[in-house]
Structure 1
C-alpha cells in the first residue's frame, strides 16, 4: 500500500515536518553491509620506543552500529519501521551488532548469522579529538556461500513484500552478490521506491534505481573521470556529465554527496539543486552519509519533493557531524535543528556587522529580496542559483504590511517570522532579515553587496534597485524564471483543490 503524500503545508522546512514524517511510519527494508564501528579514545603524550609511533593510553571504548546497520538505526530514529537484511558472523562483534540494532528498534529477522563468517568491524583510535589510526577486521572475505545466499534471498523477499521503500547499502564486503541483485531485479516492479548507496553504483544500474547517492569519489569512478577542485569546479564537472551519470547508474535521480561542500541533486527533469553543509573537522563526519541517505529516504518515500528531501537530509547530517563518533539523528533532534530558525531574522545593524566581517574575510556577498509567501520550487531554484554567484547569500523579506500593499489585503498567507524561518532552513541561505519598505534600496545602500540577484521575468532596467546597486559598483543578475510556479498560482491551486485530495508520490 502506498504511503499518502504529505500535503502542501507539510513541505515546509519547519520543526513540525520531522514529526509529521515520523507519524507516517514508513516501512523500509535496508539491504546491505552491516558493520560494527569501534571508537577507542584516550591520551597521547609520548612515542613508543620501537618505532616513531604515538602511544595512546585508552581511557574509553565505545562500539556502535555502522554501515547499513547505522543507516537502519537512523531510519528507525526518524520514525520508520525498518528491517535489516544482511549477514554477520557468529562472533562477539556480530552479537553486539544484533543487540544494538534491536535496541534501536531495527527488526533483525532479515539478517543471516553465518558461523564461518567474520563480522565486519572498523575501529578508530583517537586522541585529542583526532583520529590517529583506523584498523579493520573482516573486510577481505569471500562472498557468501550458496546456502547462506539462498537464505539471504529468502529473507529479502519477506522483507520487501510490504515495504514502502528499499534502501541498498553496498560497501563491497561480500554480502551483496549477483544472486541478491537478481532477486531485487525480479522484484523491481513491486518496489515503490529504490534507493542505492553503493561504492560501485554502476553495479546496480540494471535495476534502474529511483535514487543513487554516490560521494564525489564514487561518482568519479563510475564516470571514469576526475571530479576535483573546489566546490564550484566539482559542481560544474557534474553538470557536464549529468547525462553520463544517469546512463552509468541507471537512475532517474543522482544525489552526489560532497562532504563539507554539501550535496548536489541531479534529476532528469529539473535544474541541479545544491545543498550547503556546516563544515566541521573531517574526523566528525563518520556515519554522516548514513544519516543523509536515511533522512532522504524517509522524506522521498513519504512523497516530499526531492529538493525538500535533500534539504532535510542535509539538516539531519549537520546534526550528527557536530557530535563525536558515529551518531544517529532522531526526530526530535532534527525538529530542534529546524525549529532553531524561528528566530532567524537578523536586525539591520547586526546584519551590517556580519556582512562587514564576511567582506573582511574575502567573501563575495549576494543579496536578494522578495515576499516569499508560500515558498515553492521556483523560489528554491532561484535562491540556489543566487547562492552560487558568491559565498554568502542574504535574503531580505518584506514584512506583512508591505506584502499587503504589494499583493493585496488577503496576503500574506504566512507571517514574516514564519517566512523568514522557512527561508533560513534552506542550506543555501546564510542570513535573513525583514524590511518594511516596498523596495530594499536603503538596505542595499547600507550593505553594498557584490551582487544583487532577482528571480523572475525581469530585466535590470525594470528594477528600481538597479541604479542604486550600480552606483556603489555592484552587479545586477537576473536568474532563471520558472513558469507556472508563482506564489499566486500555488495559492490558487490550494484553494481549488478538494481537502481530501493529496499529491501523488514522488518517484
Structure 2
C-alpha cells in the first residue's frame, strides 16, 4: 500500500512497511518533559594492566556523545516523524551546550530546555573495549536549583498548548519535583482538548494525580509498585497480568504497559491483561535506550490514532530495531519500514522450517503450531495468536495457500495473496515462523514438524479436527482456543462489501 493512500488509522490492526511513513505524515506535536542526559560512548583497546592496580588500561580510540534519557526519547520521536519539543533543565557546562546543539540539529524545539549555572548536566560515560562495556561514569547534580525548577514549572502551561501528546520521562533526578509536577497536573486538568498523556517514570505513583493514559514501568519498577519480587522466566508475564487492578490503582492510569525486556511487554487494562508482545532480542553488549525507543514509538502511534494493541506491536518492532545497534541509538521511519518489510519474504519451506525447529528443541524449547487462512487480519486473530504463543516457546503459523483458500472459501477469496498474508502475520511479535501449505488439511505438515502443541481456534472439539490423530500418534497435545464469532474474517469481508463502517466505540 502507498503511504499516501488515505487510511483510517483507528481501524489499522496489522503492521505493514507503509505504516511508519503514514504515521510520520501525521506529524503529531509531542512534548517530552523530564531528565535529559548526555550519553558518552568511549571505546578503545586493552593490551595491558595498569601498575597501580589489577585494572585494565583502555587506550581510547573513539569518543562519541549522544542525547540520552528524555533527550534520547525526543530524538527517537523526531526520527519517527513527530514535531518534538523538549522541556527540562541542564547546566551551562560543556555537556549542556553539546546536548542542546544536538537536539537543535535534529530539529527539536528547545525553548523550554532551561540552562542554569548552578546545575550539572547529567552525563553517563560508558567505557568499552571489544564491544563490551567495562565501566560507566555517572555525573549529575546533587540538587536542582530552585530557580530552574520555578522556571520549568512556570513554562509548563505554555509548553503543553496544542500538543497531541505529553510524554513524561521521570528518572528521579529531581528535575520533575513537586513544583513542576503540580504545574503539569493543573495544566492538564479536565478533558477538553487534553492531549494523550504518557508517563515513563522510575516511580509512577507520584504521577497518579495526572491520570495518565499510559504508564510504562519496566520489570523492576513493576515489582516495586507491587511490593513483591516477580518470578523469573516466562511466568513473569503471567504474574504481572494477574496484577492489573493493583497496577492501575497504584498508577492512576487508564492502561499500564509493563515492559519486561527479553520477555516483551504486557498490556494491562481495567478488563485485565489484554495484549502481549514478544521481543526478538539480540545478544547485545553495547546497546542502550531500547526503552526510550519503545515509549517514543508507542506515544507517536497512539497520538496519531493507531489502536492501542497495534501501537504496542509497532513499539516492540522499533525496540527490536535498536537492540541490534550499538550505543544509544534511535529508530527512524526508514529503519522501521525496512524492518517490517523484511517480513514479506519470511515464509519458510517445510524442510527448512523442520531444521530450524530441531535447533529450538535442542535448546529445550516447545513448539506450537497453528494454521488458518488469516486473510484479513483483525483483533480476533491477534488475540488468538497471542493465546497460542503462551502455550509454548516457539509459535509457527501455517497459512493456507491461495488455491487452498479458494477451495475453502470460494472464488472471491482470498482478499490478500499469500505473500501479503505471510508478511502481516510474520510482523506480529508473537509469531516466530510462517510457512505455507496446500494440502486439504494440515496433517502432513503436522506429521513432519511434530509440534508439542497443535492449537486451533474456533468452535471445534479435538475430535472434530482431522489433524488430531496425527498429533496424538506422536504424543502431542491439541488445544482449542477462544472463538470470537463477531471478529471473524467473513464478517469483516461482508461488512466491507456491504459498505458498512465500524461500530462506534466510546
C-alpha displacement of 1:411: 1.4
C-alpha displacement of 1:264: 1.6
Q: 1:488 aligned to 2:490? A: yes
In structure 2, what is the Cα distance between the partners aligned to 1:502 and 1:211?
A: 25
The correspondence for 1:36, drawn from 35, 38, 44, is 38
In structure 2, what is the Cα distance between the partners aligned to 1:406 and 1:442?
A: 18
The correspondence for 2:459, drawn from 432, 457, 464, is 457
In structure 1, what is the Cα distance between the partners aligned to 2:273 and 2:262?
A: 22
SS at match of 1:349: helix
Residues 420-499 of structure 1 aligned to structure 2 (within 5 Å): 420-497=422-499
Structure 1 pair 365/221, CA: closer, same or farther in 2 (3 Å)?
Answer: same
Residues 290-329 of structure 1 aligned to structure 2 (within 5 Å): 290-329=292-331
The correspondence for 1:278, drawn from 277, 280, 300, is 280
Question: What per-residue deviation string (whole Å, max 9, x for no partner) do you get for residues 392-437 of structure 1?
Answer: 1110001111112212222111111100000111111111011112
Match of 2:239 in 1: 237
In structure 1, what is the Cα distance between the partners aligned to 2:217 and 2:9?
A: 30
C-alpha displacement of 1:149: 2.4
Match of 1:180 in 2: 180
The correspondence for 2:352, drawn from 346, 350, 357, is 350
In structure 1, what is the Cα distance between the partners aligned to 2:172 and 2:99?
A: 18
C-alpha displacement of 1:10: 4.2
Match of 2:230 in 1: 227
Q: 1:366 aligned to 2:368? A: yes
Contact 1:5 1:502 in 2 (8 A): no
Structure 1 pair 268/5, CA: closer, same or farther in 2 (3 Å)?
Answer: farther
In structure 2, what is the Cα distance between the partners aligned to 1:54 and 1:449?
A: 49
C-alpha displacement of 1:478: 0.9
Structure 1 pair 322/437, CA: closer, same or farther in 2 (3 Å)?
Answer: same
In structure 2, what is the Cα distance between the partners aligned to 1:182 and 1:164?
A: 20
Match of 1:152 in 2: 152
Structure 1 pair 112/495, CA: closer, same or farther in 2 (3 Å)?
Answer: farther
SS at match of 1:484: helix
The correspondence for 1:208, drawn from 191, 194, 211, is 211
Contact 1:38 1:124 in 2 (8 A): yes
With structure 1 as the length reference, what TM-score do the two structures score?
0.94
Alpha-carbon RMSD: 1.9
Structure 1 pair 144/412, CA: closer, same or farther in 2 (3 Å)?
Answer: farther
Match of 2:94 in 1: 92
Match of 2:3 in 1: none
Give the aligned length.
498
Question: What per-residue deviation string (whole Å, max 9, x for no partner) do you get for residues 369-411 of structure 1?
Answer: 0010111111111111111111111100011111122122221
Which consecutive unaligned segments of at least 5 residues does structure 1 have? none
Q: 1:381 aligned to 2:383? A: yes
Contact 1:303 1:504 in 2 (8 A): no
Contact 1:303 1:505 in 2 (8 A): no
Structure 1 pair 494/195, CA: closer, same or farther in 2 (3 Å)?
Answer: farther
C-alpha displacement of 1:155: 2.6
The correspondence for 2:14, drawn from 12, 15, 28, is 12
SS at match of 1:335: helix
In structure 2, what is the Cα distance between the partners aligned to 1:159 and 1:307?
A: 29
In structure 2, what is the Cα distance between the partners aligned to 1:5 and 1:350?
A: 37
With structure 2 as the length reference, what TM-score do the two structures score?
0.95
Structure 1 runs, 4 residues or longer, greater than 3 Å off:
4-11, 269-272, 281-285, 492-498, 501-506
In structure 2, what is the Cα distance between the partners aligned to 1:157 and 1:495?
A: 48
Question: What per-residue deviation string (whole Å, max 9, x for no partner) do you get for residues 3-59 of structure 1?
Answer: x98447743211100010000001101011110000110011222111121111111
C-alpha displacement of 1:471: 1.3
In structure 1, what is the Cα distance between the partners aligned to 2:121 and 2:7?
A: 38
